[in-house]
Amino acid sequence: MNSQATNTIGKLHQIQDMLIGLVENLNEQQFKTHYVADMGSPGWYLGQAVYLETYLIREVMQHDADMTARVRHFFDIGIEPDAAISDQLPPKEHLLNWALELQEDNLTRLANPSIFGNNPKLDPDWLATYLLQRHAISYENMLILLQGKAIAEDNGMHMVTMELLAETDSIESVLISQGHYRIGARDEEITFDIEKPAQMVELANFRIATKPVSNANYLAFMNDGGYENPAFWTKQGWQWRQAFNISHPWHWKKNPNGRWYEINILGAADLPPDEPVMGISQYEASAFSQWLAKHHEKFQGAVLQHEYQWETAARQGALQMTGRAREWCSNDFDLYPGYQQPDDITISLNNNKNGKVIKGLSLHSQPSIRRMSLRKAADAGNQHLLTGVRLVFPPGKPFWEQ
């Protein structure tokens, strides 16, 4: 085994431990609780991560389905991780012991690639890197669940020491010139299938905000009645807002003194004014852009970014704070022209064909997935994905040069 493969397996071991660490201190009820709508329990996400690596290493590579067949009805692709599924999971300690034993054995097999024969179905080095990236996604999903747990347990009494104040003057932009730009990942890169193949796209001139919309920027929208005025919302967005009585980002709360604060995975905390707003849906992101364009002359024409605009600007080093919060885009998720579906759909992330595109990274994104081609899709009404918003503007001079 070469040194690069050894290093990758070491990193895979590390993230396996990180996944275990997120759940080992939960009690039995917490282990199986669904803290976020349309997501599974912490125990289910751990089990699915272990199932995936065991399926690919044992069943696909060695034609041994003994372990995976036993739990396929819990964790296979397409399984909806509802409360009924979580209730049927083994007790926490049993599942943890199962996970630890399989993780150790899976690492041993990857470290000895000769056991897979001369013509393995998947390249062992590719597989280790791929699993490292898939576990990075599982890790973020489990952190979202733990944030949901913290929100559910918060008593609403956090005493804010630094009050969040509204402002929009800090929004600045940079010009990206018309041209042909590369989008997506090259064939030789080990990435997810939906990032390929690489494309050349033609873009007109546009200006893009150097930073995502901040907490202070978003509070200005809220204070100006942004959640009460349907003029800022799409028809579907307004229906969603009314149906779920949405009036603030997912993890924001107001204390008895009327001051906003956030609940992160560690509990209640003051809202940093300059940090990107997150915990908003694409509907909310769109409403903010419409509000800003209509109520501030210097920001006329503000709209949500297209994923091509984000990736082009990011590749040019024009964007700041790309790793603080994921960012909604305006466009629907589509596969790139020339996309090839993997032979085994288990290794595909093409699982939300009706969603909106999300680009960028969160604070919790692991190094294995920190790249500009990374993309995912989610329903426009999803508030729970550590996602914020960045805007684009017409290509004229920025307001401070006019």
Instruction: Return the CATH number at 275.
Output: 3.90.1580.10
- Cβ distance 158 to 255 under 8 Å? yes
For residues 236 and 376, state if they share a domain.
yes
| Domain at 137, CATH number | 1.20.120
d(CA 51, CA 68): 6
pLDDT tier at 1, thresholds 50, 70, 90: low
Please provide the size of the chain in residues.
Answer: 402
For residues 324 and 366, state if they share a domain.
yes
The residue type of 233 is W
In a domain, 51, yes or no: yes
| Residue 239: pLDDT over 50 | yes
Pairing between β-strand 387-389 and β-strand 326-332 as defined by DSSP bridges:
parallel
pLDDT tier at 77, thresholds 50, 70, 90: confident
Which of 32-46, 75-89, 227-241 has the weakest average pLDDT? 75-89
Considering 120, 153, 186, which residue would you say is the last residue of a domain? 153
d(CA 70, CA 88): 13
Query: How many CB atoms sit inside 10 A of residue 167's CB?
Result: 14
79-106 residues labelled b (16+ CB within 10 A) or e (exposed): eebeeebbeebeebeebbebbeebbeeb
56-72 residues labelled b (16+ CB within 10 A) or e (exposed): bbbbbbeeeeebbeebe
| Residue 93: pLDDT over 90 | yes
**Mind listing the pLDDT tens digit for each residue in 202-237?**
999 999 999 999 999 999 999 999 999 999 999 999
Two structure tokens written together for 186: 């090259």
H/E run at residue 253: strand 252-254
Average pLDDT over the chain, rounded to whole? 95
pLDDT for 23 = 98
Pairing between β-strand 206-209 and β-strand 391-393 as defined by DSSP bridges:
antiparallel
Q: List the domain range (segments joined by +) for residue 361.
A: 173-401
d(CA 202, CA 196): 17
Give just the sign of the alpha carbon dihedral 83, 88, 92, 97: negative
pLDDT tier at 400, thresholds 50, 70, 90: very low
Q: What is the dihedral of CA 123, 125, 129, 131, to 10 degrees?
A: 60
Considering 106, 124, 153, which residue would you say is the last residue of a domain? 153
d(CA 96, CA 104): 12
If one counts the domains in the chain, the total is 2
pLDDT for 397 = 58
